[in-house]
Structure 1
Amino acid sequence: MSESRTVPPAPLLRGGPRTAPAPSAARGRRRAPLAALASRLTERDAWLLEMLAEHTVLTTAHITALWHTGQRSANRRLLALHRLGLLDSFRPRLQRGAAPEHYLLARTAADLLSARYATTPAALGWSSELVTRTAYSPLLAHNLGVATFFTHLATPNDPELGRASAWWSEQRCQQLWGDLVRPDAYGRHTRTDDTGTVGFFLEYDTGTEAHARLARKLEEYAEAASATRIRPLVLFTLHSHRREQNLHHTLATHPALASVNVATTARDQAAPGQAEHHPAQAVWLPLGRPATRTRLLDLPGLWPVEQRPTGDVEQAAAWTRGVAMPAPDPRCPHTPTPFAPTRPPRA
């Protein structure tokens, strides 16, 4: 956990994408037999279920963008999946305006994925209290911020910016590297023509942690670099330009920079000529080095050759061991082909 805990200021409504039935009504939905669902699901549906198993909760806005579809089409399909008992949802009650629907796996979906990957719902992180624990989690806004970061990377508006080709959750990272570091996510960004890629650990900052805590994180990454013989790239996305400036002033000479590459961005700052912040654009500034802001794909070139990020982080993690389900590709299948519920061979 990387953010301080605060109690959510407002109660939450439980319900589906168009109405807000009582919890007992949601629990009382008829669960379709798993075999009968096979003919009703597409590969895109199955991909969404795997993404929710990996990342726990996504909003309508995230799903619409990741599906590359319109809001009306997304709402219709989400409603259908909800009625099939595959999705649960809740909607935070805001003091002003309306929050989007927040979607999670329902029990039927957890059972379906468990059958597909020869595991159990518990191993996938599902429990009967998942909706309640997620809705009232003090880290909900932080986790949704991470999801927004990767949704932008997975759905660029310019092919020159590349696209996310890996997005691992905090829980997966903790399984793999929890004894060394606990990043908010691991990601990989790839050029559209597959000629280059950037792997990175993400630290999503909301301004609640002291700079001393961020400095300790760098020390942990330096220890991990020594243990794995990999020079990691760590990205800090900060909530304001002022906090970013203060962080550079505090950590520019940190000893960990001898073995760790670090770059920062401020979410209240957009790239030149752009109206809104986008993490794939020229918004990144290396820590401890004089440089101008650059695109995510061009970050490694800002360091001398001998100091650039190195090593295959994914291979070094040996990530298939002890993990219930492979990490889904953040790039959604574009063709809504029928779902093939075949069980993959065990690793």
Structure 2
Amino acid sequence: MSQPRLAYIATHSGGHALRGSVADAIAAGRTLTTRDRELIALLADHKALTTDQIARLFYGHDNTARKRLVRLTDRGILARFRTCVRPGSQSWRYTLGTLGAMIHAAAHGDTLPTAAKTREKVLKLAQNPRLNHLLGVNEFFVTLTEHARKNNRCNLAEWWNEQSITEACARIVRPDGYGKWVDGDRATGLFIEYDTGTEKLETVLSKLDGYRELASADVAHPILFVLPGVKRQNNFHRLASANPATLGGLTVASAAAEDLATTGPADAVWLLAGTRTRYRLIDLPRPTAHRRAA
């Protein structure tokens, strides 16, 4: 079977000559809206988003989003790529292009990346076997953000990527993401473990060892496992129930990806380990495996 072809666009969808000078970045910066700058910052933190995810985060209409994203790509502010499959093709995956990366670096006092360095990062991202995992993690937070914009009581106050939260946790654990969810006058932190089904469930559950160690340092939040299907979710809970010491006072809950797509992560979709009860995100009980509130 032939391998799927990768359509990769570094900066300009029209194939024009590459621009990457400081003058180009300054000129491009003059055309940016506040929304454009917010998108640049988000892509700098979270690497890649699909057309649909960007439309849901920033635009009221898909067609408006597509037109703006094409324009930003033509200007070298964004880059995009997708895998060609039969029939049809994937939605575009967007990341920072040469000028977008320069603009973001300048805004944060960082060393300006070269055009060659940015093209290398985009190509590596496009070929990264964990790209779908990254997009799945980002989808979780995009959906929460979308929910909050439709509900004035709610807010995704924080959204950290894997690298940032791993460093903040002193590398004791490596969550796929961290968020702070606010609903009315209540708030909860949350660790995300996004499972694609490639590891044994025993390996997945062994990640809780690090969370128990982290809890002993008074940092404990609900740990949410997103699992690829209901069958794997059932097996996850069966294994957790057979080894109750694994939980050790942690709040561990799971949801199957198909249920999240239907119900949404803010709603009563989270099955709490050791019970048969599903909770809304904000209603998950606080962990007891720490000495004081985290």
Normalising by the residue count of structure 2, what TM-score does the alignment of the two structures yield? 0.87
State the one-letter code of the partner of 2:93.
H
Q: Report the secondary structure of 1:128's partner residue.
A: helix
User: Compared with structure 1, are the counterparts of its residues 309 and 48 closer, same or farther at alpha carbon in structure 2 (3 Å cutoff)?
Assistant: farther
Structure (1/2) with the larger strand percentage: 2
Aligned position for 1:117: 108
Aligned position for 1:238: 227
User: Compared with structure 1, are the counterparts of its residues 11 and 38 closer, same or farther at alpha carbon in structure 2 (3 Å cutoff)?
Assistant: closer
User: Compared with structure 1, are the counterparts of its residues 9 and 175 closer, same or farther at alpha carbon in structure 2 (3 Å cutoff)?
Assistant: farther
Structure (1/2) with the larger helix percentage: 2
Whole-angstrom distance in 2 between the partners of 1:119 and 1:36: 19
Whole-angstrom distance in 1 between the partners of 2:16 and 2:46: 22
Aligned position for 1:169: 161
Counterpart selection for 1:293 from 253, 278, 285: 278
Aligned position for 1:183: 175
Aligned length: 287
Whole-angstrom distance in 1 between the partners of 2:118 and 2:168: 22
State the one-letter code of the partner of 1:68.
Y
Indicate if the aligned counterparts of 1:162 and 1:297 stay in contact, CA closer than 8 A. no
Q: Report the secondary structure of 1:104's partner residue.
A: strand
Alignment pair present for 1:279 and 2:265: yes
Q: Report the secondary structure of 2:81's partner residue.
A: strand
Deviation per residue, 1:258-283 (Å, 9 max, x gap): 2421111112236xxxx824111110
Aligned position for 2:212: 222
What's the offset of the Cα at 1:231? 2.3
Aligned position for 1:147: 138
What's the offset of the Cα at 1:64? 0.1
Q: How does 1:80-159 map to 2 (within 5 A)?
A: 80-121=71-112, 127-156=118-147, 158-159=150-151
State the one-letter code of the partner of 1:234.
I
Aligned position for 1:197: 187
Deviation per residue, 1:218-256 (Å, 9 max, x gap): 111111212x21222110011111111111110123324
What's the offset of the Cα at 1:27? 6.4
Whole-angstrom distance in 1 between the partners of 2:112 and 2:10: 22
Unaligned runs of 5+ in 2: none
Whole-angstrom distance in 2 between the partners of 1:116 and 1:90: 25
Indicate if the aligned counterparts of 2:106 and 2:112 stay in contact, CA closer than 8 A. no
Whole-angstrom distance in 2 between the partners of 1:221 and 1:140: 25
Unaligned runs of 5+ in 1: 1-7, 313-347
- The higher relative CO (CA closer than 8 Å, separation ≥ 6) is in 1
Whole-angstrom distance in 1 between the partners of 2:53 and 2:16: 23
Deviation per residue, 1:121-155 (Å, 9 max, x gap): 56xxx743112111111111111111111111100
What's the offset of the Cα at 1:68? 3.4
Please provide the CA RMSD for this pair. Answer: 2.7
Normalising by the residue count of structure 1, what TM-score does the alignment of the two structures yield? 0.75
Q: Which moved more, 1:58-67 or 1:131-140?
A: 131-140
Q: Report the secondary structure of 2:95's partner residue.
A: strand
What's the offset of the Cα at 1:11? 2.4
Aligned position for 1:255: 245
Counterpart selection for 2:67 from 67, 76, 84: 76
Deviation per residue, 1:303-345 (Å, 9 max, x gap): 7xx5699644xxxxxxxxxxxxxxxxxxxxxxxxxxxxxxxxx
Deviation per residue, 1:138-191 (Å, 9 max, x gap): 111111111111111100185278332211111222332352011110111111
Q: Report the secondary structure of 1:112's partner residue.
A: helix
State the one-letter code of the partner of 2:271.
L
User: Compared with structure 1, are the counterparts of its residues 212 and 27 closer, same or farther at alpha carbon in structure 2 (3 Å cutoff)?
Assistant: farther
